[in-house]
Each structure stands twice: as C-alpha cells, then as structure tokens.
Structure 1
Amino acid sequence: MLNFFRKRSANLKDDLLSGLTVALALVPEAIAFAFVAGVSPIIGLYSAFFMGLLTAIFGGRPGMISGATGAMAVVIVSLVAIHGVEYLFPTVILCGVIQILAGIGKLGQFIRMVPHSVMLGFVNGLAIVIFMAQFGSFNTVNDAGELTALGGPALYMMLVLVAITMLIIWLLPKFTRAIPASLAAILVVTGLSLAINKAAPESWTAENQPHAMLTVGDMLRTNTTASATKEVKAKLGETADQEAIDSAVAAAIEAEGGISAGLPKLYFFDSQYEFLPPMNLATLWIIFPFALTLAGVGLIESLMTLSLIDEITETRGRGNRECFGQGLANVVSGLFGGMGGCAMIGQSLINVNSGGRGRASGITAAVCLLLFVLVLAPWIEMIPMAALVGVMFMVVIGTFEWASLRTFKKIPLSDVLVMIVVAAYTVLMHDLATAVIIGVIISALVFAWQHATHLGAEVIIKDDGSKVYQLHGPLFFASVSSFKELFDPREDPDEVVIDFYFTRVYDQSGLEAINGLAEKYRSLGKRLHLTHLSPECRKLLDKAGDMVEVNMSEDPQYHVATDRLG
C-alpha cells in the first residue's frame, strides 16, 4: 500500500479538519446509497449522522467512520420494495439489538481468524469497487429521463478537475500539513468549478443539464429524475405520455427539496408514514431474516475495516466494543427513521489520510453533516462531483495493495487463489461480507486438506513384545482416514500403545476414530492403551462418556500442550 497513511499522533486540529473533509465526502455517498435502498435521500443523510456520531463515541476504533453503506442498502431494497419503508425502521432496530448481543457475547474477536490472504483480496476488491462506483458521478439525464453518460466539453473539463484534485492531494503534503490535502483540494476545485459554470457557454452543457460542471445538487436532481421517470413508466407502462412523466419528476424533485431538512424525529411520531407495523410475531417473522442479514453484513464489514485501519495506523481497535457501538447506532438510527449502516471504508481512509486519529474526527464529521442538512445545504450542493471523485480516486490508489501483485510467485498457490476469489467476488457481486466468508471457508478447507496428510506414526517394538505407535500430526475430521490406515489390529501384538505426546485430538471425528480402533482391538482380544494425552484431549474423552470406551493409561507429568500454547 502506498504510504499515504503514515503513522501520525492524534491532535484536535487534525481531527476537526479531517472530520470536515469526511463530512463533505459523506453527502453524495449517503444520497447515492439511499437511492439504492429505495428510500428518501434525507433518510440516508440522517442515518449517516446517527451512525457516524454514535460509533465515534461508543465504537471500538477511534478514527473510523460509519454511515449509510451500499452493503446494507442492497439488503434493504428488497424489504422496502416488498413491505414498504415502514417495516425498515423496526428491522434496523432489531439489527442493532443483534449486534449489541454480538458485542456482549464477545464475537468481535473472531475477526482475528481472517487470514492475511483474505484481507488482501478484500482490500484489492474494495479498491476496484470504489473506483468503479465513481463512474456513476459522470452521469446525467437525457430527454427521456434516463441516465446517460456525460459527454462533450463538460466531460473533458470534469476530467481535468478530477486530475487537478488528485494532483493537489499528492503535492500539498510535500509542502505543508497545516490543512488536510483532501480538504484543500475540494475547496480549490469548488472555486474553479464555480468560475467555469459561470463562464461556460450554452454549447458546453448537456441535455437538460443546467451546469457545465456537475455538482452535488445536480447529482441529487439527476438521480431523483431518473428514479421518478422509472417509477412512472413502471406504473403506466411505456405508453406513459411525457406530460405525466414531467409532472411526476417535478413532484419528486419538489418533495425531495435538495438535502435541506429539519431535525430528525422518532419515526412513530412522523406523520409522513402511513401506518406503523404491528408489534407481533407476524411482523417479527417478516423482519427477522432481514435484520439478521443486516447485522452480519454490518459487523463483518465494520470489523474488516477496523482491522484495515489497525494495520494502517499501527494501533489496535477493540472488536467487541465496535460490535456494541455499531449496534447502539443502528438502534438509534432506526428509532429516528434511518436506514442504518456500518463502517465506511472509503471515508475511514479519507479520515486517516487527512490526519484524523481520534474520536473527535468522527464526531466532527457527524455534526458537520447535520449542519449541512439543517442550514448549509445550498452551499454543499454547489460542491463539484469532480472534487469528490478525485478524492475517492486517491483513496483507491492508497487502498490497493500494489505489493501483492509482485508476490504472486512468492506465496503458496492456495493463498493466491483465495486473494483472487475474494477480490473477484467483491467486484462482481459488490458483497464484501459474503466475499470475506467465502475466503475464510476456502482458507479453512485448504488448511484442513494440507494437515490431513500430516498425520503419521513412528512404530516402536518394546522388549516385552508390546507395540507403540508414536503419533505425529493433528487428529481431526480430515485426518481420520490417514489415522485408520496406520494400524494393523490383526497383526499387532496383544498389547498396543498409542503415544499422543506429539499430537492432539481436536474434534468428535477424532474421538470416534479412536473408539472404532479400540473396538477392533477389543474384538480380537487385544488391549489398546492411550498415553501422553494432553489435558484438552482427556477433557474431550471424559465429556464423551459412554460414547468412547478406551483405556487411558496413567501417565507421569509430561510436557504437553496447554491453553497458553493453544
């Protein structure tokens, strides 16, 4: 990874400035993900506020940014489409409760089980996803109200401003760190954009596009127009006349009202929602599968982000506390009519790159976002998308693990496969949580396959005629077949000893293999002894009770594996 995120100590000035930078980048992201989820942009903005504020205060990773995310939006969209937005809020609340229980149950520590190859694939896939997502900012609408790619001089000027943004972010830290490079780039490019829009001739503008340079406000109107047009055509069919479409679009734009709104209020006191779902088992049956999926997706993405920020800043977050903080934020977000969310990797990297290390950076980002919604909406809508796209492109460059491309020939083929699968699934399906789960499963299967062949035995014949099998390697479900092949009950003497000094029994499959072997020797009138069992192995055998009947010989005190080594 490029050294954009060098280790820096936390200070209040950096936290405040980086928080402001993150807040500017949060606005279009929250709006875009709200459209993906099929809800109002204001719901996305309120969700970003509550998620960002509460996780900054109660979460386990200072400097990490949370908000409305695409991973959660793709789960929410089907719920809203089938049951309506009124079912969204209790679903988000239940999601938060599940995450709180996960934190109390200390499930956050399981993130340590994610292999490094999975992390590399996740990071590289994420960088590609962030890169591809920026192309949506180059869209406008045509006469038919459909999204179309920006073209002509407006596109060329936008690309120039994107390049200027990236150049400022790259060069400014070489001269001064008094102000975050991303914030300086946004301010400079916003000024250039305003000048270009004022001076641009009519020939530069795209169809139905009032500005030469697309701004945050333009993006909101573009998405609203496309969404309203699609909805009208879905209801009336392709026969819908242009007057009906124009009327629906005008009504939708007026209803959205930009990003300006008042203070959020509890959703069950909000008159805009037609009804409240009854709090009964039928409702629980509807929302529970969605809530469980949201909780899992949110926790996996948040804990992966936590691990990434840990690696970048060379510090360590607290996974269990992060689970609790995410859960609390989702509960409050749901109560106030939000769509919930989780950690946002792109915004977290912007924060880290801008010097944000403490909780004040996340709090500042959330508070500034609320101020944008309450009083500064007209100013925020003037920010050019080119500046925000340039910032995100620099995040992509800093996120992608370029060194991994040079190590393909130096690491095991299985690790390369895991990296490619995780990255490819992330890019193709845009499902970060499932990509991580698939990567962990593949890594576990590879580990089991490799260690299944590592079980062997050294055979010793003692003076008294007894035979000792000194095992080497782990005994678990994958190595059971190898274990059985080591023994020859018919040809062995009457007294046989299995020495477990160099091995351990890990699961019920191993216990059953031992029991089956003991039965074979017993049926032949021979005795099988087990020696040098570790305390964990003895505990497994004791717990199995009558399920396993073996003769455990009394051992002196040997040096065997303990919990500290396990």
Structure 2
Amino acid sequence: MKWMGRFAGYNASAFRKDLLSGLIVGIIAIPLGMAFAIASGVKPEYGLYTTIIAGVLISLLGGSKFQIGGPTGAFIPILFAIVMQYGYENLLIAGMMAGLMLVLMGVFKLGALIKFIPRPVTIGFTAGIAVIIFSGQIANFLGLSGIEKHEDFWSNMKEIGVHISTVNIYSLLTAGICLVVLLLVPKFAPKVPASLLGLFLSTVVAALFFKDHVATIGSTFGVIPGALPQFHIPEITWARVVSLLQPAFVIAMLGGIESLLSAVVADGMTGSRHNSNRELIGQGIANMVTPLFGGIPATGAIARTATNIKSGAVSPFSGVIHGVVVLLVLVLFAPYASHIPLASMAPVLMLVAWNMSERRSFIHVMKTKTSDSLVLLITFLLTVFTSLTTAVEVGLILAVLLFVKRMSEMLKVAKVLPDPDHKHEKVMAHMVHEGHDCPQISMYTIEGPLFFGAADLFEKSVMDSIHQRPGILLLRMGKVPFMDTTGEANLASLVKHFERYGGMILFSGVQAQPLEMMRKTGLMECIHPDHMFEHTGEAINYALQHLNHQKCLGCKHFAFRECAVLSREGNVAERQSMLESTSI
C-alpha cells in the first residue's frame, strides 16, 4: 500500500527523531493556534482543537511526508469575515463544505491545476493578507478600548484613529516585552521557541506588576476549558449550504494553494516529492472532520513544516506527535493559558504577518514594471480594501487576459520567399517586396500558437493575400505548437473560402497537436491528402508543377529558382507565335 510505503524501514531511531521534531513543532503551534483563532473572531480553544485534529489527519492522510497542518494566518481575513457576516456555526459548515470541495479536487486530479495560479496573484493576496493581519493587531498592541471590529480595512483603521487616545501603557509595555523576546531569541538562542517564551515572560510580568490592567484571554473570551473537544454536528440546511457556497469555495482554494505551496517547500528542503492530489484529499478530509469538534479550517503551515524538517523529522509521525503534544498541553495547562494578555498575542501575529508578507518578491516583481506588476498591485490593493474573494477573482481574470494578450503577440504571420543567397535557399520574409513576389503562389510562415486570442490576426494577415487571387496558397506551420478550436475554425474558413474560388491550399510541417485537432474537427477531410507535406521544399516543387505556365509569360519577379526557366520557355513560345503570324 502507498500509505504504508511512507513508513517503510521505520525504526526506533526514526521514531526518536520524529518525537523530538513533533515536540518542538507542537510547542510552537500552541501560541499560534490560539492567536490565529482569536484573530479569526473565535475562541482560542477552537484554534487548539484545529491544531490537534487537523494536524493529525493531515499528517496521516496527506500527500507530503513532512507537512504540518493547522490554522494559518492566511485564513484570518476570510474566517473573520465569515464569522462577522454568517456567525460561528455557519463557519463550521463552510469549513466542512470546503473540505468536501478539496476532496473532490483531489479525486478528479485537479491538484496540478492549482499550481498554475500566477505567482503575482499569490504574492499580491499574500501581501494583502499580511497587511490585514498586522493592522488588525494594532488595537491589541496599544491596548485600545471601545474598539468595534469591522469587516473592511478602512473602518478598522478609522476605529483605531477614533480611539487612539485610549492607549493603555500597561498593554504597550506587555506587548513590547513580548516583541523584544521575539526579535532577540532567534538570534541568540535559535532552538528556543521564541513565541512561547515571549508569551510566558510577558504574561508573568503582567500578572506580577499590573494585574487587571491589561485584557487577557480569560477576561475577553472566558477560561479556556481543559477538556477534550466535544463532538457536535452543526445544523445543516439547504439554505445555509447555498448561502455559504462562495465563502466555502474561497476557503477551499486558499487552503489548496497554501497546502501545495507548503508541500513544494518541503520537497525543496528534503529532496522528496509530494503527491498533490493525495494532499488535497487529506486536507479535505481533515477540514470535513475538524468542524465536528468545533475546529476552524486548516491547511498546510509553511513555517511549521519547515521547522519540522529542520528539527529532524523523517516521517508523518512527527505531525501526529505534534498534535498529541498540543492535546496534552490543552488538558494539563489550559487554565493557565487564560491569563495570557491579548497584548502579548499581538506581536506574535504581527511577526507572522511580517514573515508571510512576501516583501522581497513583491518588490522584485514591482521593479520589473511589466504586466505582472499590474496584476500584483491590483490583487494586493483589492485584498486590503475589498475582500480576498474579489482580489483573487479579479487578479486571475486580469492575469489570464494579459497572458492571452502576450500569447497573441507571439503569433507571427509573414509572407516569405526563398533566399537564393542562403546555402539551403531558406525562405525569408525580407525577400518579399514590390517587384519580387510570385503572382501565383503566396507562401506564409506561421510562428506561435494559433488560438482564440490570435486567430483573428492569422486570418486577417492571410486574407489580405487572398484578395490578390493567387492560384496556390502555401502555409508553413512547422512552428505552430498548438491550435485550439477557434484557430481551427478560422483555418477551416480560410480553406473553404480559398478553394471556393478555385485556389489550392498546401500545408507543410504541421505538428502533431494541430494535425490531431484538424482530424478531430473533420478539416482533414476537406484537404486533399496530396496537399500535406512534411517539408517546405516538397510543397514548393508541387506548387511549381501546378502553376498556370501561361501566366509566367513575361514575369520578371523570379521569385523561385525555377522561374528563370519558366520565363524563358514562355518567351520562346511567344516568339514562335509571332513568327507563325508573320508567315501567314
């Protein structure tokens, strides 16, 4: 079985490595799980439930050996908006629906398609999400009171501006202690979990010196229960399902993108290779099960996956152990976590936002000043000022339109003739000019994909020649790698139009895909078998044999090597005719 293949040769030494890496990642995941849940507008324990259940299932059922799953920062704006608009119960249903969508994506092998989402779009919405997460923690960092949370960025910024006078010096001091720890510990003690240490020290300082002066998890959300999550099936109705289709789809798409990006990062660090479709199925199952225990949507976490690998993980057991570690901490120490100040959580999330901002890639793409820069900027701005759904939709549409435009510009249609100065008499566009163009044979070289975005250019270019009524049209298609049904339809129209006026169309070098398309649509049945050639030279020889030699009389174009002979034969015939008329 493939599932067991990932554990082939597993031994006690491997288990010890997985145990250590699972312990480290589990400790790191605890504060992040609570922070992501709070920022998403739900209780902190729901983030821990997600870390436990989704973390175990994603590791066991996913397509990457080293993937660590759980709540992530990328989901925060989406989940918060869903909670604000639909409520927590509907968030659970949306998560289950997203899980089903991910399973179907994996079953129908759509994992590879998600990888085709343009990089500027992913950088744009990732950077936008980072801005939303960072700005969303300003109020907690400053300890502002009377803040009302909104879905949109402008309203939240306005709230901060209105209540800036309520800055709590104790919250500011607590957040500052945590931030200093987060910045210094990785430099001087990289193996120590900085986020956990920062939360611990800032919580102790706040509890000892200014207790009751800062808002805590307990005072805001209530005491975190130390019990196991309870099984609960949300009330699912058809009306709810219909209303949640769009948010569920956004969760599924973002979850799929992030999980596969994380798996790719893991492949790069380990030299392994993940199964993208299996990863989607594993992610989907985890997201279908987790809401039954109150958990929020989960996906692959890039930072925790990288930490897992750096800590020596050798199999998916490290991810399972990470979930078990979080479970034990929840059962044993949950009441103590209720004393953590919200100001302590703020720097943790701010640092997460900073690290996920893709700032270097953002600047790099913007410096290119290309259409990709435009796609990136629009996606980023729409993510921040509207919604992730709108940003991704517009970003993808814009990226596709610009891609089509670029691809259409790649199509080159040039009228050509042989160059006698070239060793092999290669056909060249510069050989066609006034006074040097065969009146009977029009020859075109077509380069680039012949698809819906460029088909009109192809037809127009060749149709201009048809108006001159040449007897033979030769299309060199050796550099046409792809043709879609629109390109084929334009080509078929050209064939029928040209032959309607008694012309002959020849083809040379048609590649496999365009040839197969022509067969499938029936166009090949309209083309005489003798009019298809592998090489241009063969097609030219055939065309010269089927010229109207009477029209070669007096022709001074000499477009082909054979034209000199054909023209001379025509002049002899003309002189003979004149002699005969004189003797009568």
TM over 0.5: yes
Q: Which stretches in structure 2 are left out of the alignment for 5+ residues? A: 1-16, 150-158, 419-437, 537-584
Residue number among 6, 10, 17 corresponding to 2:24 in the alignment = 17
- Which digits, 9 at most, give the CA deviation of each residue in 1:4-63, with x for residues without a partner? xxxxxx86423421221112221132244253xxxx655454334322221122223424
The residue that corresponds to 1:446 in the other structure is 402
Cα distance, 1:133–1:356 mapped onto 2, change above 3 Å: farther
C-alpha distance in 2, partners of 1:444/1:144?
41
- The structural deviation recorded for 1:371 is 2.9
Name the SS of the counterpart of 2:466 in structure 1: coil
CA distance in structure 1 between the partners assigned to 2:387 and 2:479 by the alignment = 45
**8 Å contact from structure 1 (residues 31, 45) kept in 2:** no
Aligned twin of 1:169: 185
Structure 2 counterpart of 1:484: 459
Equivalent residue in structure 1 for 2:512, among 512, 535, 539: 535
Q: Which residue of 2 aligns with 1:77?
A: 83
Distance 2:282 2:310 in 1: 23
Which range is displaced more, 438-447 or 17-26?
438-447
- Point out the more displaced range, 311-320 or 333-342: 311-320
Match of residue 474, structure 1, among 449, 455, 464: 449
Q: Which residue of 2 aligns with 1:248?
A: none
1:341-371 residue CA offsets vs partner (Å, 9 max, x unmatched): 3345676577678777863453344323333
Find the counterpart in structure 2 of residue 199 from structure 1: 209
Contact 1:108–1:323, Cα closer than 8 Å, also in 2: yes
- Look up the match of 2:560: none
Is residue 68 of structure 2 the alignment partner of residue 64 of structure 1? yes
CA 1:405 to 1:443, structure 2 compared with 1: closer, same or farther past 3 Å?
Answer: closer
Q: Could you tell me whether the CA contact under 8 Å between 1:457 and 1:472 is conserved in 2? A: yes
CA shift at 1:130, angstroms? 3.4
2:480 is the alignment partner of 1:503: yes
3-state SS in 1 of match to 2:493: helix
121-130 vs 479-488, greater mean Cα deviation: 121-130
The answer to whether the 8 Å contact 2:18/2:321 transfers is no
Measured on the aligned residues, the alpha-carbon RMSD in Å equals 3.9
- The residue aligned with 2:325 is 368
Q: Secondary structure at the match of 1:501?
A: strand
Pairing 1:325–2:282 present:
yes
1:115 aligned onto 2:90 = no
Does 1:221 find its partner at 2:227? Answer: no
Task: Determine helix, strand or coil for the equivalent of 1:471.
Answer: strand
Contact between 1:15 and 1:358, CA under 8 Å: does it hold in 2?
A: no
CA positional deviation for 1:145: 9.7
Counterpart Cα distance in 2 of 1:435 and 1:139: 30
RCO higher in structure (CA 8 A, sep ≥6): 1
Distance in 1, Cα, partners of 2:148 & 2:110: 47
Query: For the Cα contact (< 8 Å) 2:177–2:198, is it kept in 1?
Result: no
User: Which position in structure 2 is the counterpart of 1:342?
Assistant: 299
SS of 1:267's equivalent?
A: coil
Relative to structure 1, the CA distance from residue 355 to residue 419 in structure 2 (aligned partners, 3 Å threshold; closer, same or farther) is farther
> Partner residue of 1:260?
225
Q: Secondary structure at the match of 1:486?
A: helix
SS at match of 1:477: coil
Query: TM (normalized to structure 2)?
Result: 0.70
Task: Name the CA shift for 1:314/1:132 in 2 (closer, same or farther; >3 Å).
Answer: farther
Larger Rg: 2
Aligned pairs for 1:376-525 (under 5 A) are 376-404=333-361, 407=364, 411-429=368-386, 431=388, 435-460=391-416, 465-487=440-462, 488-525=465-502
Q: Which runs of 5+ in 1 are unaligned?
A: 1-9, 225-252, 560-566
Q: Partner of 2:467: helix, strand, or coil?
A: coil
Number of residue pairs aligned between Structure 1 and Structure 2: 483
Q: Of residues 162, 166, 174 in structure 2, which corresponds to 1:158? A: 174
Residues 440 and 376 of structure 1: is their aligned pair in 2 closer, same or farther, counting only changes over 3 Å? same
State yes or no: 1:128 paired with 2:159.
Answer: no
Q: Distance in 1 between matches of 2:387 and 2:269?
A: 23
Alpha carbons 2:186, 2:194 under 8 Å: kept = no
Task: Using structure 1 for the length normalisation, give the TM-score.
Answer: 0.72
Segment drifting more, 387-396 vs 309-318: 309-318
Contact 1:190 1:382 in 2 (8 A): no
1:196-223 superposed Cα distances (whole Å, 9 cap, x missing partner): 43133xxxx7xxxx144x5xxx13532x
| Equivalent position amino acid for 1:424 in 2 | L
Match of 2:253 among 281, 296, 316: 296
SS in 1 for 2:410: coil
* C-alpha distance after superposition, 1:143-167 (max 9, x if no partner): 8999966624303412431332233
